[in-house]
C-alpha cells in the first residue's frame, strides 16, 4: 500500500527505451502482487492456475515482463522483503483481515455477475505465499536476473543500493522508496502498456515515470526529513490512514509552517500505537545491508522445467520467448566485446 503522495510529487514521463543500459533495483513483492492482481479472469476473478490448482499468475507476469525489460537492455535486480519492523504487525494483521473480507465479497460479486466488483475484490484478496516467492527467485535466476534479500523493507534496501551507486534507480509503485531516500525512483516499470481505467470503458497508455528526490525536495521547498514528516502525517504502512483531515497538500503546508519534528507533531492528535518518532527514525535510518549483486547463469532448460514441465505453460510460447532472450543476451555480449576491442 505505502504512503500516498499522489498530486504532491511530480514525475517525468519517459519511454522504456530511455532506461536502456540502466540497472534498476525492483521491489519484488510490490511487483509480484501487481501480477497476482492484474492477471485474472475477467468474469470470475480467478488467477491463472495449472491443472493441479496452483496459482501461476505471478510466474506469467514475472517471465514475460522481465523479458520485456531485458529486451530493452534494462538490467533488473529484484529486491525481496525481509523481516518487517515489529510495529508493522498491526498493519500485517489488518491486511490479512481485509483479504479475508474481500474474498467473501468477491464470491458474492461472482454470483451477482457484478464484474467490476469481481475485479476489485478479487484483486484485494490476492495472497503471495512463501512457495511463490521461492519459485519466483528460481525463475529469475534461470533467466540470468539477480536477486537481493533485504534484511527488512525492500524499498529501503533498494534505496541503499542506489545511494551506493550499485544500481541506477529503484523501481516500485510505492512512494515509500522516496521517503527511504532513493535518489531516483522509476514507477510503472513492470506495468507499461495499454491498461483499462477502473470502472470505465476506457483505456490509457501507461508509461514509466521517473521521480528524482532532489527535484521533489526543491519543488516542495523542504528537506528529506520534512518529506518523511509529510508522509507520516498522510499515513504510512506503520500508521495507516494518517492524521484525520490531513491530505498531502494540508500535510505539506503544516510541515512548511511548523518546520521541526517536535513542532509538527505537537500540533496534531496522534492516535497510533507506534510513536511518530519511531516511524520517522525508521524511514531515516532503516535496516539495510551491504549486498553483492551476483551474476546469474542463463539456463533455458531450467526455465522450461519450471514453466512448461511443472506449470504447463505453452511450450511454443515459452520457447519463442527463450529464443528471443538468447538473441538479446547474445547481442549484449557482442556489444560488450566490441566496446572492449573497438
- Torsion sign across C-alpha atoms 251, 255, 261, 267: negative
Let me know if 163 is exposed, middle or buried by CB neighbors in 10 A (0-12, 13-18, 19+).
Answer: middle
Q: Which of 216, 326, 228, 337 is nearest to 277 (CA)?
A: 228
The bridge status of strand 169-171 relative to strand 184-187 is parallel
Quote the Cα angle for 120-124-129, to 5°: 140
Counting Cα atoms < 13 Å in the Cβ hemisphere of 162 gives: 28
pLDDT given for residue 201 in this prediction: 64
In the chain, where does the domain assigned CATH 1.10.150.20 lie?
Answer: 221-286
Give the pLDDT of residue 101: 95
| CATH number among 1.10.10.10, 3.40.50.1010, 3.30.2350.10, 3.40.50.720, domain 9-220 | 3.40.50.1010
Q: What does each of the 342 residues of the chain score in pLDDT, given as a tens digit?
A: 568 888 888 899 999 999 999 999 999 999 999 999 999 998 999 999 999 999 999 999 999 999 999 999 999 999 999 999 999 988 888 889 999 999 999 999 999 999 999 999 999 999 999 999 999 999 999 999 999 999 999 999 999 999 999 999 999 998 999 999 999 999 999 877 666 656 666 667 889 999 999 999 999 999 999 999 999 999 999 999 999 999 999 999 999 999 999 999 999 999 999 999 999 999 999 999 998 899 899 999 999 999 999 999 999 999 999 999 988 776 665 555 455 444
Fold of 221-286: DNA polymerase; domain 1 (1.10.150)
For residue 307, the model assigns a pLDDT of 98
| Residue 92: predicted pLDDT | 87
The predicted pLDDT at position 340 comes to 43
DSSP of 98-157, one letter per residue?
Answer: HHHHHHHHHHHHHHHT-HHHHHHHHHHT----HHHHHHHHHHHHHTT--EEE-SS-HHHH
| Domain ranges in the chain with CATH number 3.40.50.1010 | 9-220
Q: What is the pLDDT of residue 337?
A: 43
- The confidence score (pLDDT) of residue 124 equals 93
Q: Which of 193, 194, 177 is nearest to 185 (CA)?
A: 177
Straight-line distance from the first to the last Cα atom of the chain, in angstroms, rounded to the nearest whole number? 48
Cell numbers for 217, please give them: 525536495
Amino acid at each position: 500500500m505505502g504512503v500516498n503522495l499522489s498530486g504532491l510529487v511530480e514525475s517525468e514521463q519517459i519511454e522504456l527505451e530511455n532506461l536502456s543500459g540502466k540497472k534498476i533495483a525492483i521491489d519484488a513483492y510490490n511487483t509480484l502482487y501487481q501480477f497476482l492482481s492484474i492477471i485474472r479472469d475477467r468474469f470470475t476473478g480467478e488467477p491463472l492456475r495449472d491443472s493441479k490448482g496452483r496459482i501461476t499468475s505471478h510466474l506469467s507476469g514475472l517471465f514475460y515482463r522481465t523479458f520485456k525489460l531485458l529486451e530493452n537492455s534494462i538490467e533488473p535486480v529484484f529486491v525481496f522483503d525481509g523481516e518487517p519492523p515489529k510495529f508493522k504487525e498491526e498493519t500485517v494483521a489488518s491486511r490479512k483481515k481485509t483479504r479475508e473480507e474481500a474474498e467473501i465479497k468477491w464470491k458474492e460479486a461472482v454470483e451477482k455477475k457484478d464484474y467490476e466488483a469481481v475485479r476489485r475484490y478479487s484483486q484485494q484478496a490476492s495472497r503471495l505465499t512463501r512457495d511463490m516467492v521461492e519459485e519466483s527467485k528460481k525463475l529469475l535466476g534461470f533467466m540470468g536476473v539477480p536477486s537481493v534479500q533485504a534484511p527488512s523493507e525492500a524499498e529501503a534496501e533498494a534505496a541503499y543500493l542506489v545511494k551506493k551507486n550499485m544500481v541506477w534507480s529503484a523501481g516500485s509503485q510505492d512512494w515509500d522508496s522516496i521517503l527511504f531516500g532513493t535518489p531516483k525512483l522509476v514507477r510503472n516499470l513492470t506495468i507499461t502498456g495499454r491498461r483499462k481505467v477502473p470502472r470505465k470503458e476506457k483505456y490509457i497508455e501507461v508509461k514509466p515515470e521517473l521521480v528524482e528526490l532532489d527535484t521533489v525536495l526543491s519543488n516542495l521547498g523542504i528537506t528529506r526529513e520534512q518529506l518523511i514528516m509529510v508522509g507520516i502525517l498522510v499515513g504510512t504502512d506503520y500508521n495507516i490512514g494518517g492524521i484525520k483531515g490531513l491530505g498531502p497538500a494540508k500535510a505539506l503546508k503544516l510541515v512548511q509552517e511548523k518546520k521541526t519534528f517536535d513542532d509538527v507533531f505537537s500540533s496534531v492528535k496522534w492516535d497510533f500505537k507506534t510513536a511518530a518518532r519511531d516511524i520517522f527514525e525508521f524511514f531515516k535510518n532503516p535496516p539495510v545491508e551491504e549486498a553483492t549483486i551476483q551474476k546469474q547463469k542463463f539456463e533455458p532448460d531450467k526455465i522450461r522445467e519450471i514453466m512448461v514441465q511443472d506449470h504447463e505453460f505453452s511450450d511454443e510460447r515459452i520457447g519463442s520467448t527463450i529464443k528471443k532472450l538468447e538473441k538479446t543476451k547474445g547481442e549484449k555480449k557482442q556489444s560488450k566485446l566490441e566496446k572492449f576491442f573497438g
